[in-house]
Structures are given as C-alpha cells and as structure tokens.
Structure 1
Amino acid sequence: MTIKRLLAFFILMISCNLYFSQNVTIKDDKVLLDGKQILKAEKINLAQYSFFSMKNDDEVLLYKYMDNETPSYVSDDYFILNFLTEKVKIESTDLGKVSNFMNSKKGMEKIIKWLLKERVLNQDGELNPDRLSVFKEKYDENITARTLR
C-alpha cells in the first residue's frame, strides 16, 4: 500500500515539474521562451555562443567553453559566461549546468533555462543586474585569477 502511495506522489511531483517548466528552444538563431522570441543567438563555433538583446541588438551574453589548453584532460575544463553589457564575467567548473553530450544547442537552451530560473533573465530576455550580482556570488569560481600561466 505504501509503495503505491509513494509511486503516486512521485508521479505527481514529476507531472507538476513538467507542467510548470518553461519551454526554451533555440531555432533559426532565435531564443524562444514558450514560443515567444526573447533573444537572438549566434553560434560562433562548438565552444562559443553569443546572445543578443531584442531591443537594441547589443550582445548581452557570450558563452565560452575552455579546455584549459589540455584537450585530452577534461577535469580542468570550465565555462565562462560573460555578461558584456553589465561587465560581469562568471567562470565555473560545474559543467553539469551546461553540458548536453556535445549538442551545443541543447546546452545553450539549458543555460537560458538556468538564467531564467535564477531570475538573471526575465521573461522578456532582459538582464536583472541585482540578480546577476547574486548569481555571480553563487557560481563564480574566478578560475583565471587563480591559474598560473
């Protein structure tokens, strides 16, 4: 009896999570949130993406994947989120937040969902500077400053 209740509760939690999640897709260089375009996207290469504002075409976010000059050793890899209009750079080794098995478009969709969840981006694709500073405090590891070259 308790297994049935536990299973029903689990299914309910999954369905609620799917129901309240936002649908972010990148299609034809457009970032769509529930079908509405909020940003423009440009794939530079496999390791770089740029996102542009809908209002004035400013580049608001540049994503870079860094292999730390050791392509065969992945334990030291990290990514950079460079919020250009706010002059804020975030470096993190938490690749689980962005990776999606070499499908860079799915990884970028994952980043946009993450930024929406953290309220760094609002529903119109605009940056929230206050939430960006909180986001930086939470996730920035400042890798470049502590790496000897």
Structure 2
Amino acid sequence: MAVNRLFAFFLLMISCNLYFSQDVTIKDDKVLLDGKQILKAEKINIAQYSFFSMKDDEEILLYRYMDNETPRYVNDDYFILNFLTEKTKVESTDLGKISNFMNSKKGMEKLVKWLLKERVINHDGELNPDRVAVFKDKYNENITERTIR
C-alpha cells in the first residue's frame, strides 16, 4: 500500500516537472514556446528589452535593468517589468529569477518562462490582466518610492 502511494507521488512530481519544463527560446527577435512564436522581442540595449504582441504588434512588456546609479555596487540593483497595456509596473531586487551571467538573451528566456509559470502570459503570448495584478502583489517591492534621491 505504501509503495503504491509512493509511486503515485513520484508520478505526480514528474508530471508537474514536465508541465513547467517548456522550451522557451529567443531567436531572430522571435520568442518561441516549444517552437511556436508567441511574442516578438527587441533588444534595445544591454539593459532593456521590449516584447510585442503577435496579434496587433503592440508593445506589451518593457524590461529594464537598473543599477541604481551605482555601477560598481550590485547589491542595490533591481529590474523593472512594465506591463504597458495594463499600466502596471513591477520593481524587484530578486535578480535570481532572471539573471544568467550577463547573457541578456538567456535571461529574457528565463523571464518569459517565469511569466508563463505565473500565468501572466498565456501560451498564445497574451497578458492575463488578473494574473498581472496577482504578480504585482507577489513581487513588487516599490523600490522607486522607497529610494531617497
């Protein structure tokens, strides 16, 4: 009986892992999910990326990395996710969610996987307004409002 429960738990864990192991790649300014294009991407510079809807080519997400005007001190760095169509901004210091050793393309692939996992973006590349609000509640740290200049 215990072996059956253990086996069922093992199968559940494997299926959850396979569900979240989607292949996200950015190639030629296309965001591909398991080979299907869901978004368009544009690298503005080393610290900024824009993502565009496939439906109407509207910019839906702007990613910016902020060094907080202290380029040699990284402990105060953060990133901003600006969900433009939802007029929602998320600022976070949790760089582990997207960092990938200075390879911005790999970091952006990691960002898209994170947004898919949180169901902020669906498998067609469309934003879910309700999930954007939940995402903001979970991860926004209001860094700009807390910073004295």
| Length-normalised TM-score, structure 2 | 0.89
| Alignment correspondent of 1:77 | 77
| Alignment correspondent of 1:110 | 110
Moved over 2 A (4+): 11-20
| Alignment correspondent of 2:68 | 68
Q: How many residues align?
A: 142
* SS of equivalent residue, structure 2 residue 85: coil
1:19 aligns with 2:18: yes
- Residue pairs, 1:1-149, within 5 angstroms: 16=15, 19-20=18-19, 21-149=21-149
State the alpha-carbon separation in 2 of the partners of residues 98 and 13 from structure 1.
27
Structure 1 unaligned segments of length 5 or more: list them: 1-10
State the one-letter code of the partner of 1:68. Answer: N
Q: Deviations over 1:101-125 (max 9, x none)?
A: 0000000000000000000000000
| Length-normalised TM-score, structure 1 | 0.89
State the one-letter code of the partner of 1:43. Answer: K
State the alpha-carbon separation in 1 of the partners of residues 59 and 52 from structure 2.
4
State the one-letter code of the partner of 1:44. Answer: I
How far off is 1:19 after superposition? Answer: 3.2
Structure 2 unaligned segments of length 5 or more: list them: 1-9
Q: Deviations over 1:32-54 (max 9, x none)?
A: 00000000000011110000000
How far off is 1:17 after superposition? Answer: 5.9
How far off is 1:30 after superposition? Answer: 0.1
* SS of equivalent residue, structure 1 residue 76: coil
* SS of equivalent residue, structure 2 residue 99: coil
